[in-house]
Copies of this chain bind each other. A is one copy, B any other.
Amino acid sequence: MLRLRSRRTLALGAAGAVALSGVAIATNYAERDRSAQLKAQIDGHVPKNVILFIGDGMGDSEVTLARYYAKGAAGRLNMDRLPFRGSSIHYVLSPGPGPDYAPNYVGDSAPTATAWSTGKRTVDGRVSQGPSSALNVPGSNDGYRTFMEIARDRGKATGNVSTAEITDATPAGPSAHISQRACQGPDDTRKTCPSEAKENGGLGSIAEQQADAGFDVVLGGGRNRYAQPVLAGGATTVLDYARGKGYTQQPATADDLAKVSSLRRGKVLGLFSKGNMTTEYAPLQARSKAWQDAHPGFDPQKDAGSAETTCVETNRPANEPSLSDMTAKAIELLSKNRKGFVLQVEGASIDKRDHAADVCGQIGETVAMDDALGVALQFQRRNPDTLIIVTADHSHTSQMINAQQVPASLAAYATLKTVDGAPIRVAYGTATEEGASHGHTGAQVPVWAIGPQAANIQGTIDQTDIFGVLNGLRPSRGSGWWSHRPAYGK
């Protein structure tokens, strides 16, 4: 009787989507117990392969927004289909002399990446290195060893994929140790953290450390960082340096990437744009009521939107691979290792477009990451000894508000028409002024998983707990209460 005409689609990553018919609203509830099905998903063995998806800034608000816009009220994302779901607590540390540090409840992507990469916390701006400057010895990792280094040293294949510059904080987390995330290339390092430059006895820039780390497949943006000279003013770039370290396959376009067929010809360093990679959807800028009043003739396809505005979904140039393309290629190459592999995949610009109050950019990147997850899930079905974890580093500003509501005068908002044909309004209210960057938020973020040991992300966990799961957990001591925390009541 009461039906919602919704274009319900099942995202299948690169494989495309299937349209379903309308969904009953009036009686849309499950009537059958799923206990046995969930129990069948619990597997305590150490996984052979691990794929970690990071939606940068992808809090529950960002997830819900992408689902409603692209799949409809009754639709589902791939991440919704994973059997285990927890929340990750992602506070970081405040600067201080140590050894004790106060918490900083709303941090940046460097210490949050450090948390799952190393199992330890640090301060804003720092990548997989301790919080106290007094503790840092140039040339040392400060005792912060990453899950990707551990996997490499166990003989597993390793991969690092991002739509950001591959030297950005999140992909740097498992692949570098440096006091400031800005030190992405050698020139950046000489300028911002000179004591960590290679010529001064340090580990070098993030790019150089990535070349030294020797992970098998490295794909993303950030060509300009790798084009910086290893020695000040010299002719040898980090790309050259990496080639010497075994990165003899350096695809620069989607076509180049498609042609890479094996790691036997060398490690793969694919950099597909000078900076961050291009977003899937064209930008649509949220604007404040004050801005809208001052610009009466604005184009709702570029600014603020309307109940009839939909996102332009064809923005990425064909020579840049999609996140799904990169994920599929990384899995294809890494899965040939008999000992298994570890792969991190970041959907980076969910965060970057949320900072910019670009609602379409943000949604498109969320959907793109979910599509890439679809690719990984297809691999996981054929290879059930694969653990997939999906989470975010921190939450972000965007909020869905009632489509009739206007937020505080300088808070930006935009309205879109979802696949349901209904209006959705999104507000951005944490920037100081119009056009300034909106900030990260502190709400716990989702974490989903499927595969061996996936049950361990269940409930409320610390972001650092993910490190243990990525490495493979030891067998439990007995049964008892499910939590590793002290039980309530005792």
Contacts and interface: CB of A to CB of B under 8 A. Distances in A.
B467 A29 contact: yes
A293 B104 CA distance: 26
A267 interface: no
A391 to B, nearest CB: 13
Interface stretch (A189-197, A339-347, A435-443): A435-443
A44 interface: yes
Interface in A24-58: 25-44
A94 interface: yes
Interface stretch (A219-227, A318-326, A416-424): A416-424
Instruction: Name which of A20, A33, A102, A487 has the most chain B CB atoms within 10 A of its CB.
Output: A33
A401 interface: yes
A410 interface: yes
Contacts of A133: none
A308 interface: no
Interface stretch (A155-163, A167-175, A452-460): A452-460
Interface string A56-67: 000111011101
A446 interface: yes
A271 interface: no
Nearest to A486: B10
A372 interface: no
A260 interface: no
Interface residues of A, number: 142
B63 A99 contact: no
A484 interface: yes
A80 B462 CA distance: 11
Contacts of A251: none
Interface in A70-113: 72-74, 76-87, 89, 91, 93-94, 98-106
Contacts of A85: 85-87, 458-460
B28 A459 contact: no
Given A81-B488, A91-B73, A429-B411, A476 B406 contact: no
A386 to B, nearest CB: 15
B121 A482 contact: no
A440 to B, nearest CB: 7
B488 A374 contact: yes
Contact of A422 (B43, B94, B288): B94
A377 interface: yes
A59 B444 CA distance: 10
Contact of A12 (B81, B460, B489): B489
Given A1-B99, A35-B42, A408-B288, A430 B432 contact: no
Contact of A2 (B33, B68, B98): B98
A177 interface: no
B37 A482 contact: yes
Contacts of A418: 103, 105
A73 B33 contact: no
A399 interface: yes
A266 interface: no
Contacts of A489: 10, 12, 377-378, 381
Nearest to A76: B485
B408 A430 contact: yes
13 contacts: A10-B486, A25-B93, A27-B120, A30-B461, A35-B476, A36-B476, A68-B105, A83-B483, A104-B402, A104-B422, A408-B408, A408-B409, A448-B459
CB-CB nearest 7 A-B residue pairs? A429-B429, A400-B442, A35-B44, A80-B460, A37-B482, A408-B410, A73-B103
Given A37-B483, A60-B443, A63-B444, 20 more contacts: A10-B489, A29-B119, A29-B464, A30-B461, A30-B484, A32-B473, A32-B477, A37-B480, A37-B481, A38-B482, A40-B479, A64-B442, A68-B105, A72-B103, A76-B485, A377-B489, A405-B439, A406-B432, A408-B433, A411-B430
